[in-house]
Amino acid sequence: MTRERVLRFGVLTWLTLVWVLLWGTFSAANILGGLAVGLLIMWLLPLPRVPVEGRVHLLSLVQLVWWIIFYAGQSSAQVAWLAVRPGPPPVTGVLRCKLGIKSDLVLTLCVDVLNLIPGTMVIEVDQTRRAVYVHVLDVSTTKAVDQFYRTVRQLERLFIASFERDSDWQPAPWHLRDYEYHEEGREDRA
């Protein structure tokens, strides 16, 4: 069974589960209805192909989930303190981080995690350069900025260890094809 079929089956299962949860009762009719609606959605509104180019490493994934929970808790406490502490509001800013993540899917997951951490919001993603621009709530001290960069580096290492180790990396045939097309167009115009 190919990865693409496994992913399609996963999407169909998820759509069916959502349908059953929306109806609120677990019955054969709801499951069959969910399967029918899921198949109809997948046929009428197909998602674009997303290359899945690495392997999932469970131990690293467990570490990643642990650190996400830790960073979310730590950042929540920091944001709460910034909200109630006496004094002027914190200095905010936009910081750029270059990431070594190769896959668009894993880059999207990393951006989602950065958005979940309180006090940060990704405002732009530069896919070709693999850079993210993040609005950070507190950049008033060098220590706060360094802590932000340490957090991002730790998450980057964990995402790479969990999903795209060099030993397992097999780029999809169409990986970055759109970017290569646009780069060729720029060379022709120059």
The answer to whether position 188 is within a domain reads no
Residues 69 and 152 in one domain: yes
The pLDDT score that the predictor gives to residue 28 is 93
Alpha carbons within 13 angstroms on the beta-carbon side of residue 93 total: 12
Residue 181 lies in a domain: no
Residue at 52 is within a domain: no
Residue 85 within a domain: yes
Identify which of 25, 45, 151, 34 has the alpha carbon closest to the alpha carbon of residue 99: 151
92 and 142 inside one domain: yes
* Residues 99 and 26 grouped into a single domain: no
Whether the pTM exceeds 0.75: the reply is: no
Residue 152, token pair as written in the block: 């991002």
Shared-domain flag, residues 86 and 143:
yes
What is the domain extent for residue 77? 58-163
Number of domains in the chain: 2
99 and 32 assigned to the same domain: no
Handedness of CA 15, 18, 23, 27 (dihedral sign): positive
Q: What is the largest CA-CA distance in the chain?
A: 63
How many angstroms separate the CA atoms of 14 and 112, rounded? 19
Q: Is the dihedral of CA 123, 105, 167, 180 positive or negative?
A: negative
* Residue 105 shares a structural domain with residue 152: yes
Shared domain for 36 and 63, answered yes or no, is: no
Task: Indicate whether 15 and 68 sit together in one domain.
Answer: no
Residues 32 and 105 reside in one and the same domain: no
- What is the pLDDT tens value at each position of the chain, 190 positions in all? 576 788 789 889 999 999 999 998 889 999 999 999 999 999 998 877 766 677 788 899 999 999 999 998 988 898 898 889 888 888 999 999 999 998 888 898 999 999 988 889 999 999 889 999 999 998 989 999 999 999 999 999 999 999 887 776 666 665 555 555 445 544 544 4
96 lies in the same domain as 145 = yes
Residues 67 and 116 reside in one and the same domain: yes
